[in-house]
Structures are given as C-alpha cells and as structure tokens.
Amino acid sequence: MKRRDFITLIGGAAAWPLAARAQRLAKLQTIGFLGESTPVAQSERTAAFVQRLRELGWIEGRTVAIEYRWAEGRSERFAEIATELVRLKVDVIVTSSTPAVIAVKQATSVIPIVFAIAADPVGTGLVASLARPGGNVTGLSIQSTDLAAKRLAILREVVPGLRRLAIIANVGNPASALEIGEVQAAARALGLEITTLEIRRAEDIAPAFEAIEGRADAVYIPTEPLVLTNRVRINTMALGARLPTIYSGREYVESAGLMSYGPNRPDLFRRAAEFVDKILRGAKPGDIPVEQPTKFDLVINRTTAKALGLTIPESFLLRADEVIE
C-alpha cells in the first residue's frame, strides 16, 4: 500500500466516530423547553423534569436533545420563543403557566405541547376537557382557583387579627384573573376588606406596595412568571412594609415569603416528563387525559414570621410539610 493511501485510510477511520456521532445527534428526538422565568428560578423544577426523563431512558445529549429558552418573566417573550421552537421543528414543546401555553398553542397546532402547570386549562380554552383534551395539548392542571379559600383560612390562622387583605396580581395572566375572583369571593365570605392591585411588569411592583401602605394586614399573591422572576423584590418590599404574604409554591417562601400552600411544583415537572415520554413513543397528546396534583405542600418561613413579629402556633408548625428557618 502506498504511504499516501495509508494516511488517507487512517484519516478516514479517525473521522468515522465523529461522523457517526454527528449522525446520531442529528437523529435525536428534540424537546423544546420554554421556561417562563429564569434558569435559576426554575432550577428545582427543571432538575426534576430532567431526572425523570433519565429514569424513563431519555438521557439529555445521548438519547434526546433539549432546546432550552427562557422568557425571564416577560410575557411578551412567549410568542417569540414559541415561534423559534416551532421553526426548529422540535418533537414536543414543554412549558408552564397559562400565558406561555396559550402562546405556544397559537404558534402551532401540529407539534405536541405538554404543560407542567396550568391553572384552569378548560376554563382558559387550552383543552376541550380534562378527560379528552383533543388537539395537540395536554398536561397537568394545578387547581389554583379551588385552593384560594384554603389559603385564606391558613393565613387567618397565622394572622389572627386579619381584617384587611390586599391582592397583588398580574391581571395580564388569565389564570391570575380567575384566581383573583376566587380570592375575592372567599375574602368576602370571611368578612374581609379587600384591596386589589394590578401589576403587569416589574416596574409596577413598588407602586403597588406603596398603594397598600397602611391599608392591609396581609397580602395574597397569585403566582405566575412575573411574580416568580421578581419574588425576592416582592418579599423584600413586603418585609419592609411588615406585611405577611401567602403564595402557592415553596420557592416564594424560600425567598423570604411567609408561607405557601399548593401543589408541589417539582413533582408536577416530574410528571410532565412522563407525558413527554408517552408522546415521544408515539402517543397523541389529545388522547392523554389532563392530570391533577396529588402532592400538596404547606410551607412556612419561621425567620420571616419572627421578623414580622408573628407567633406561629405549635399545632400549625406540626402540620407544615416544611418549616424554613
């Protein structure tokens, strides 16, 4: 064999693994992941999602590819990211929060969509019914409106003198608008005085707290992308105004909110991975029933309670799923 031919042969052999790897990667099924907040804010949820995928045989970079995009709490980014994921021709799109799901649904009627979190998927028109979603959308409903009255009951246990309730919410989110109605109805039934403040962007948060100064004993905050992204700012202002806060998720309490009661978010993202698994193996999203939470958490931040001068009943602490010191 001529030396030149030998070198060519060796060079070609060395290129085979690279070519094979490129070919394999090109054939991987791809998940488009639209994160409504930031990678840090959603780290616990994303980790739960990826871990469950691994358990089901979908290993990122080896048996599946994931295209992450982050809206950073800016709802105007949802449509832009949805369009980009559709252009990439991903095999399934995963997201959470009603506005993000609506944006993706408007961008495609073909690519399967899985929502890890949606407040009222039937009421907001995401699916035809929970049992038979139809179309290209399915996922997990968090029943946020059904839980509003329970959150207020919990809040009254910790703030026994509660008479005036402020609600701070992003009314641009259809799910938040539904929850506001439920909170107002529950508050009226309890004889509470209600003040509702609307926020649509981060710049609205400070004026909202200024507006309720001296007019509220506690704050109820429906959770959604804008609130998640700005949770530290919101809790700092609430503490400065000496206002107890109640949310629906642990990450808000971890960031110095007073307490939360609601579905376990990481668990919902774990279960969303199971929906993705079924779809990547050939199931049609419209045939997969929407599921509801099975795991609910009551979380309280004792350090925040002390800063607010609140004494938490021992019976309450014993009922809590987690007490953050």
Q: What is the pLDDT of residues 203-217, one digit of tens each?
A: 999 999 999 999 999
Among residues 251, 250, 190, 179, which one has the least CA distance to residue 220? 179
- Is the pLDDT at 117 greater than 90? The verdict is yes
> CB-based burial of residue 75 (10 Å sphere; 0-12 exposed, 13-18 middle, 19+ buried)?
buried
Q: How confident is the model at residue 229 (pLDDT cuts 50, 70, 90)?
A: very high
Alpha carbons within 13 angstroms on the beta-carbon side of residue 49 total: 27
Among residues 47, 27, 51, which one has the least CA distance to residue 35? 47
Residue type, 69: R
- Rounded to a whole number, what is the largest CA-CA distance in the chain? 95
Tokens of 268: 């919902």
* CATH architecture, range 3-142+265-295: 3-Layer(aba) Sandwich (3.40)
Residue of higher predicted confidence among 97 and 111: 111
Give the percent of the chain with pLDDT over 70.
Answer: 91
Q: What is the DSSP letter of 159?
A: S
- Is the pLDDT at 304 greater than 60? The verdict is yes
Give the percent of the chain with pLDDT over 90.
Answer: 82
Query: Which residue ranges does the chain devote to CATH 3.40.50.2300?
Result: 3-142+265-295, 145-263+297-324
d(CA 171, CA 78): 16
Among residues 88, 98, 89, which one has the least CA distance to residue 120? 98
Average pLDDT over residues 97-114: 96
- Is the pLDDT at 307 greater than 50? The verdict is yes
CATH topology of domain 145-263+297-324: Rossmann fold (3.40.50)
pLDDT at 27: 76
pLDDT at 177: 87
Question: What pTM, to 2 d.p., does this model score?
Answer: 0.83
- Check the CA dihedral 55-289-263-79 and report its sign: positive
d(CA 169, CA 147): 16
Among residues 265, 286, 280, which one has the least CA distance to residue 134? 286
- Is the pLDDT at 94 greater than 80? The verdict is yes
pLDDT at 12: 47
d(CA 290, CA 316): 33
| pLDDT tens-digit series, residues 131-188 | 999 999 999 998 666 688 999 999 999 998 999 999 999 988 888 888 899 999 999 9
* DSSP-based three-state secondary structure for 157: helix
- Is the pLDDT at 3 greater than 60? The verdict is no
